Every structure is written in structure tokens, then in C-alpha cells.
Structure 1
């Protein structure tokens, strides 16, 4: 045997002896670090684990806090691979339930409830007057956009910053940051099956902590779990129309018209009440006309409003960022004009109807 070969064998034996004698946590740690997945690999594992499941149920405690306040809610989630979901949120003694059985999407809260055909929700978001507190929400554009641009996900970074034990579970601690966003998000992901066991997010003001108490994959979930409670929810229908005449034919309301370019209309029926939204383009700016028989809408729209006069009628005018809205009621029908511009412009358009 050549001296060169003996030298190699000696080097191997020396390395084996060194590891055996050390039994070293430092050496073990070095190998563990070398074999540890990257942050992106951990996130890929999480995505694959959740997307590959036939079904999932999970319970978590969510706490949102800042320097002056704190609130905690319990959240229960169920979902399956047929696009069916249900979420139950309990906070401050109140319970909110929401879900979809794949055909109908529904919401049940302490003071209001509704259900919509899933097909009617396709397309641009928010053709219905609705919101978390029952206010008018959106037409084909948001009434009160926050102007925040969407973040480019490719600019986000994920870094494994530790491997702590959380509730007797060995985890990867992954920190997510984005150069265009304030704060950060940290996930604790189980090493054995890539389920998320904890998450903490900060935005510069609030700190949100999600403590996942249980997660079960591929569990049998009864079909009724995803169905709306029929004793409390009435189905909402939304139909779209490409012409004023078609929209007028679809409702008993006498719809206002505007001498401008008609774009589209939606007719929504929810719990016996009708809501009609018309979209126009006037001098290059969007104008939306809203009409409804719901008698509680005027109060919600006229909070902090100013009374003005438009073509002999009293209207209530409010503004929000670069939009203004003028509202009035006549013969049990509430009508609103939403414009891109000032309150004077809203009053001007209201006078043209």
C-alpha cells in the first residue's frame, strides 16, 4: 500500500476519532446548520403541506396590541380541497361566522347577516353596498381607497433565524421582511410537518400574535359545516347589465339617469331589499349612482354630512380623500351620487339627475 493511501486513511481515522471523542455539541450543531433549510425552503414546505391536505381544521388565539390597547379573539378555521371554508371568531362575548360551501358565501354577525352566490362575486370586487359595520362599501371602485400599492412579493426575504422549541415542538423560526413595508413577520414552523405553530407581525404601530393551539390535516369534515345557517341568512343575488335599459327592466325602482357615457350596472337583492349601482364616465371621470330601498342606509351615509341644495332638493354631502358623495331620500328610496372630485361636483351631478 502506498504511503499516499495510508496518509488518506490516517486522515479519515483521525477525523472519525475526533468526532467520537468530542461527542461535541459544537460539531453536531455545525452539521445541523449545514443541513438546515433556507427560509424560502421552509416557506415552500409550509405551502406544500397546507395545499396538499384534503382538509384542515385549526384553532388559534389572536391578540392585537399597541401602546394603548389590546384585544384578543379566538379563531376556528375549517377548509377542504373543494374550496369550502368556515371561520368562527369569538371576541368580547360576540361571535362572527363566515364561510362558503362552494356555491354560497355567507356571513353571520351579531347585528347583520347575508349570503351571496359565489358566481355573483366573480369579477371586480365589491359591487354591493356592504361593510363590516354595515356602511356602504364599494361599487366597481372603492369608495375610500387607502392608496396603498400592492407589494411585489419577489422583493420579500425569508431568513431562518433560529430553531427554538415552542410548546414542545421543534420549530424553524423564519423572519419575513419587505423593503417597502414597515415592520416584519416572524413564523415558527414545525420541523416535522411544516405546520405553523405561531406567528408575530408588526407594522410599526400594532403587534399581532397568532398562537396556533391545534392544527389537524386530512380530517373528516361534515358537509353541513360549510352551509349557511338558513334560519338567519337570506341569499343575496347580484346581476350585471351592460345597458341602462336592461338594468331598469330588472328592477321596479325608477332609476335616475345621467347625461354621460353609461358603463355598467349591478342589481343586488338582499333580504328583500334592492340595491342598484350604475357606473358612468363623465368628462373622463367616474360617476356612480346608487339607489336602494333599504331604509337604514341614509343615516349611515350622512354621518358628519353637510346639508346642501341641489335642484331644489336637500342632499347630504360628505367627502373622503379624492371622492365626494351626495345622498338624498324620496318616497322610500335612497339615492347617492359618488364622484371623483369635490363636494361641489357631487352637488352639481345630483342636480343634473
Structure 2
């Protein structure tokens, strides 16, 4: 009986030792596991040190029971050239820059701008119809309320697991910020610090990026980043601080209201011209648009009322808290956009 008791004690001792060793191994593995910040640092170094990167991924955006999926292909170089192809619901969108020209091509529209114009904030503003823009105060509210100022040092990164994603051992890193609802999770390859999956969610909406492939330092032909010449015509954008200079730069006869001239931008794309003039009238902004691209401003007459000024029928409506008066004469559309009432817009339009 004593021998059996000793055997039982030995068995218990072996179990305890085995458990202790297993616990020690787990502790050692935990000590060897990098922190969340260390994983993020390795990702940043991996991507920033690459001369070229190509990536293919599937992006799924969900909102409750609704979801949409797109495939994304990206190529980029260390000298700021890039190209992105997005395919969704049978349509394909392409955008990129070769360092000199930034371009985008979609099913119904294409555009290209000199990179310098984008850097100076000159592009796009005067090719967007007034009803597609935010008012200045709306933009301010969006900037102040919709995009909180965030300090990157306040982001907390925590390794919460080490799962295998499609055969790749990863670190699962959860990111949180005290000023942002929800979380972002990254799955990072343990071998080479590639991001293989990411998910951002606020509890209701989520965006999941599943990366099928990523290649570093591969050869990419220069033509990859050039705009497709058969569909894209370069858009030129020039700004002027004097009315006479703007008038000299275009064949359009520019109208001028009784107000203080501020600046003008002349945009030419595929033979169409858009001139946007900015004026100050008693401390309030007045925008006068003149364009040969009349079809792009057709929506200004949709759901609008009509008035007659000096025998000219004009469309009148309020868009984004601004009054708009627009008319087309001899192939040129003119629009007056003011802060204030439609009566004020009509009065200024009458001066033109």
C-alpha cells in the first residue's frame, strides 16, 4: 500500500512539473512576443524602406445588413508615383500620378491635372458645379466636428492574439484612440511585417481589407503610372490676382459685378473652359462662373424657378445655403453664387 501511495505521489508530482513547464514556456513566449508599438514600428519600417510596392486586396464595407465589395490593385514607388485600380459592381475606376500629372478615369468621366496645381490647391474647385460644393461654414463645421484633431501619440496598440490568416502566422494588433469611437485591428505577418488584413469598425459600420498579395521592391514599368492618353486630356489651371490678367487669359468675355475683385481661376480641359471669379461685396463672397461646359451645369436649372432680367430668362434656386442665379447665352453659361438671398443674387446678376 505504501508503494502504491508513493507511486500516486510521483504521478501527481509529474503532472505538477509538466504544468509548471508548460506555464514557463507560455511565459517565455509572452516575453519574446513584441509589443503592439513594436509591431507597428516594424510595419512602418517595412513599407517605408521599400523602393516599390504592389498590392492586391478585397475591400468590404458593411453598414448593418447592407454591404459592398470591391477589388483594389495598387502600385507605388518611393518617388511618389502611384496607381490604383478599383473594380466594383461591374465598373472600374483608375487613378494615379507619374509625378508630373495626377489623373483619374471612371466609367463616365476622366480628368488629369498638373501635380503643381494640386499642391497649390488650384485644381478641381472651379470644375465642380456650385450645387456639388459645401458652403464655407459647412466645410468649417465638417472640419471641426467630423474630423477631430488627433494626436498619434494617443493611439494605443495592443497585441491581442497570434492567429493564422490563410496560412500566415500573424500578430493581431488592436488600435484605439480616446477621441475616436470604435477600433481598428491589423493582422501583421510575423515573418516580414506585411499587413495581411485590417478591419475598422464603430460597432455598426465596418471596413474590412483582405490583402491577397503584397510584393516589395519589384520592377514596375514607368508606363504604369502614366494616364491613358486615349481617355485623358490634361487640364490646365491658372490663377490670377487681377481682372485684366484673367480676361487676357481667356477668349470668354468675363462679366464683372460692382464689387471688389479678389481672384480668378481659368481652367481649360478638353477644349472646355471654366472661369471662376471671386469678389467681395460688402464683406460677403460673390462667385461668378463663366463656362462653355454648359452640360455640366444643367443641374443648376433642375427644380429651379425662373425669372426674367432685361429680357433674359434665368434659373433661380438656393443650393447649400447660397443663392444661385444661372443662364445660358450663345453657348456660354454664367452663374452667380452669393451668400444671402435670391433677391441679392438677382440684383448682382442684373449688373452683368
- The TM-score, its normalising length taken from structure 2, stands at 0.84
- Unpaired runs of 5+ residues, structure 1, are 1-17
Residue 86 (structure 1) shift? 0.6
Contact 1:127 1:138 in 2 (8 A): no
Task: Kindly report which structure 2 residues correspond to 1:116-265, keeping only aligned pairs within 5 A, or say none.
Answer: 116-124=113-121, 126-130=123-127, 145=139, 147-149=142-144, 150-154=147-151, 155-203=154-202, 205-265=204-264
Structure with greater helix share of residues: 2
Residue 324 (structure 1) shift? 3.5
Residue 203 (structure 1) shift? 4.3
Secondary structure of the equivalent of 1:235? coil
Residue 138 (structure 1) shift? 5.5
**Is 1:53 equivalent to 2:53 in the alignment?**
no
Contact 2:83 2:225 in 1 (8 A): yes
Task: Kindly report which structure 2 residues correspond to 1:12-27, keeping only aligned pairs within 5 A, or say none.
Answer: 24-27=21-24
Secondary structure of the equivalent of 1:53? coil
Contact 1:291 1:336 in 2 (8 A): yes
Cα-to-partner distance string for 1:202-250 (whole Å, 9 max, x where unaligned): 2455321111111101110000101111111111111111111100100
- 2:283 corresponds to which residue? 284
Compared CA separation, residues 48 and 282, structure 1 to 2 (3 A) = farther
Greater shift, 236-245 or 60-69, is seen at 60-69
**Is 1:349 equivalent to 2:348 in the alignment?**
yes
Q: Tell me, in whole angstroms, the C-alpha distance in 2 between the residues paired with 1:125 and 1:338.
A: 19
Compared CA separation, residues 70 and 125, structure 1 to 2 (3 A) = farther
Compared CA separation, residues 77 and 288, structure 1 to 2 (3 A) = same
Q: Tell me, in whole angstroms, the C-alpha distance in 1 between the residues paired with 2:60 and 2:187.
A: 16
RMSD: 2.8
Contact 2:126 2:265 in 1 (8 A): no
Q: Tell me, in whole angstroms, the C-alpha distance in 1 between the residues paired with 2:350 and 2:202.
A: 44
Contact 1:236 1:268 in 2 (8 A): yes
Q: Tell me, in whole angstroms, the C-alpha distance in 1 between the residues paired with 2:94 and 2:268.
A: 21
**Is 1:71 equivalent to 2:63 in the alignment?**
no
Q: Tell me, in whole angstroms, the C-alpha distance in 2 between the residues paired with 1:351 and 1:333.
A: 17
Residue 307 (structure 1) shift? 3.1
- Unpaired runs of 5+ residues, structure 2, are 1-14
Secondary structure of the equivalent of 1:221? coil
Compared CA separation, residues 254 and 46, structure 1 to 2 (3 A) = same
- 2:300 corresponds to which residue? 301
- The TM-score, its normalising length taken from structure 1, stands at 0.84
**Is 1:111 equivalent to 2:89 in the alignment?**
no
Cα-to-partner distance string for 1:65-94 (whole Å, 9 max, x where unaligned): 222422111110000012111111111111
Compared CA separation, residues 209 and 262, structure 1 to 2 (3 A) = same
Query: 4+ runs of 1 displaced by more than 6 Å?
Result: 141-144
Residue 280 (structure 1) shift? 1.8
- 1:10 corresponds to which residue? none
Contact 1:144 1:320 in 2 (8 A): no
